[in-house]
């Protein structure tokens, strides 16, 4: 099967996070047809393995593609559009999986490289399901010396033939902070207001904002009436950082700030943190090498600014030398996570060739 047909098959049969059963079955079938060894991972993922003909087989490169789709009703009108009501590959993960398949196919045909290639079809990247975390819980690379984990994402801000890179800190961590500020004194006319305490807490949260940390309070709820102060005030905020150490430190400082507010206003503050994805940090050396390689193959290399979005690829980049780059799919593709997102399929060949060359250059180093 060719890469375009592979992608179109996945596109017309999208599945949501951790429900990628027929996706995994299809991938498994196609790998079987090529004689590529593989096994299930993280429930609905697939881990493929190709050993080179030479070198240290314990040294490996992990190529990662996410495979899940989104709860969207597709409106692209293409002939290979989603056949599943209310589910759509609206983030291009069908492209990522197809490119990985194409790369593995080429590597398997030649096997003319050193070490081992692991092809990771990872489930559940979207909506905080953190398939990457589930993959790593199985510690699948423990027998290996991981030279690099490589991943990509389609990008509609880049044209076909353009590749985007950002050495070092690239994508932010994302944590949701939920607070309930409750008055501990008697309710009624003269009660101390948890709203005032919450306002103080909000100002303290706001003070964490800097170049490397963003805390945005996006919701507050307190429902009092005249002469009867609300008994509680809810505050919800999103916290993003570009540094894991800082992320931990700020969480400690937030705990300290809530204690101070409790003491000062005679309130109780219940804190619930939804720990989201970690920062995506690109290995600088690996990134520069990839940029040179892309340039030498005639691709247009774009320097990217770090971005505020999150991605569970960060789980790998915290543990292994990693590179997460962007693949141009044309501005005409429209916005991802919309019902009309339509990447230019010519990007598949670019993505495949580049990931193939990059794998060889790392393995044969």
Tell me how far, at minimum, the Cβ of 93 lies from Zn ion, in Å. 6
Q: Which two tokens stand for residue 299?
A: 């691709």
- Binding map of Zn ion across residues 37-76, x = CB under 5 A, - = no contact: ----------------------------------------
**Is residue 91 involved in binding Zn ion (CB under 5 A)?**
yes
Tell me how far, at minimum, the Cβ of 363 lies from Zn ion, in Å. 26
- Binding map of Zn ion across residues 216-255, x = CB under 5 A, - = no contact: ----------------------------------------
- Closest to 215 measured CA to CA, from 241, 182, 234: 241
Tell me how far, at minimum, the Cβ of 243 lies from Zn ion, in Å. 23
Stretch that binds Zn ion, among 73-81, 86-94, 173-181, 224-232 (CB under 5 A): 86-94
- In angstroms, the CA 60 to CA 2 distance is 25
Q: Which two tokens stand for residue 50?
A: 């190709």
Tell me how far, at minimum, the Cβ of 127 lies from Zn ion, in Å. 8
Q: Which is nearer to Zn ion, 91 or 107 (CB)?
A: 91
Tell me how far, at minimum, the Cβ of 250 lies from Zn ion, in Å. 26
Tell me how far, at minimum, the Cβ of 92 lies from Zn ion, in Å. 6
* Count of residues that bind Zn ion according to CB under 5 A: 1
β strands within 13-70, DSSP E: 37-41, 45-51, 59-66
Stretch that binds Zn ion, among 90-98, 184-192, 294-302, 321-329 (CB under 5 A): 90-98
Helices 21-34 and 3-12 pack at an angle, to 10 degrees, of 160
**Is residue 16 involved in binding Zn ion (CB under 5 A)?**
no
Q: Which is nearer to Zn ion, 65 or 91 (CB)?
A: 91
Phi and psi, residue 259, nearest 5° = -65, -40
User: Would you list the DSSP string of 227-276?
Assistant: TB--SEEEEEEEEEES-HHHHHHHHHHHHHHHHHHHHHHTEEEEEEEEE-
Q: Which is nearer to Zn ion, 41 or 91 (CB)?
A: 91
Phi and psi, residue 256, nearest 5° = -65, -40
Q: Which two tokens stand for residue 142?
A: 């423990």
Stretch that binds Zn ion, among 83-91, 111-119, 220-228, 269-277 (CB under 5 A): 83-91
Run of H or E residues at 155: strand 145-155
- In angstroms, the CA 125 to CA 311 distance is 7
Q: Which is nearer to Zn ion, 91 or 286 (CB)?
A: 91
- Closest to 104 measured CA to CA, from 88, 92, 121, 91: 121
**Is residue 130 involved in binding Zn ion (CB under 5 A)?**
no
Q: Which is nearer to Zn ion, 62 or 91 (CB)?
A: 91
- In angstroms, the CA 11 to CA 346 distance is 15
Q: Which is nearer to Zn ion, 91 or 293 (CB)?
A: 91
Q: Which residues of this chain interact with Zn ion, rule CB under 5 A?
A: 91
């Amino acid at each position: 099967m060719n890469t375009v047909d592979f992608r179109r098959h996945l596109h017309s049969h999208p599945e949501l996070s951790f429900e990628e059963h027929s996706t995994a079955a299809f991938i498994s079938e196609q790998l079987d047809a090529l004689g590529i060894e593989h096994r299930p991972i993280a429930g609905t993922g697939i881990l493929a393995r190709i050993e080179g003909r030479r070198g240290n087989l314990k040294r490996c490169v992990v190529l990662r593609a996410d495979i899940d789709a989104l709860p969207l009703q597709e409106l692209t009108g293409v002939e290979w559009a989603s056949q599943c009501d209310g589910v759509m590959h609206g983030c291009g993960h069908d492209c990522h999986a197809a490119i990985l398949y194409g790369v593995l196919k080429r590597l398997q045909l030649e096997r003319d490289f050193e070490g081992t290639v692991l092809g990771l079809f990872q489930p559940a990247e979207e909506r905080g399901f953190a398939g990457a975390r589930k993959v790593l819980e199985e510690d699948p690379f423990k027998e290996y010396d991981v030279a690099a984990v490589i991943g990509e994402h389609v990008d509609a801000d880049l044209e076909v033939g353009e590749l985007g890179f950002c050495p070092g800190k690239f994508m932010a961590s994302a944590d949701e902070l939920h607070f309930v500020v409750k008055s501990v004194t008697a309710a009624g006319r003269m009660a101390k207001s948890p709203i005032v305490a919450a306002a103080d807490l909000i100002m303290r949260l706001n003070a964490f904002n800097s170049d490397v940390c963003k805390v945005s309070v996006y919701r507050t709820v307190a429902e009092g009436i005249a002469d009867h102060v609300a008994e509680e005030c809810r505050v919800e905020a999103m916290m993003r950082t570009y540094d894991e150490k800082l992320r931990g430190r700020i969480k400690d400082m937030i705990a300290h700030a809530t204690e101070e507010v409790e003491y000062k206003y005679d309130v109780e503050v219940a804190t619930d943190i939804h720990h989201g994805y970690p920062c995506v940090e690109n290995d600088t050396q690996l990134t520069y090498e990839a940029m040179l390689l892309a340039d030498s193959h005639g691709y247009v290399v774009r320097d990217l600014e770090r971005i505020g979005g999150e991605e569970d690829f960060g789980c790998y980049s915290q543990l292994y030398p990693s590179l997460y780059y962007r693949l141009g799919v044309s501005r005409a593709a429209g916005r991802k996570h919309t019902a009309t997102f339509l990447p230019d399929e010519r990007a598949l060949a670019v993505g495949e060739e580049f990931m193939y060359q990059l794998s060889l250059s790392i393995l044969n180093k």
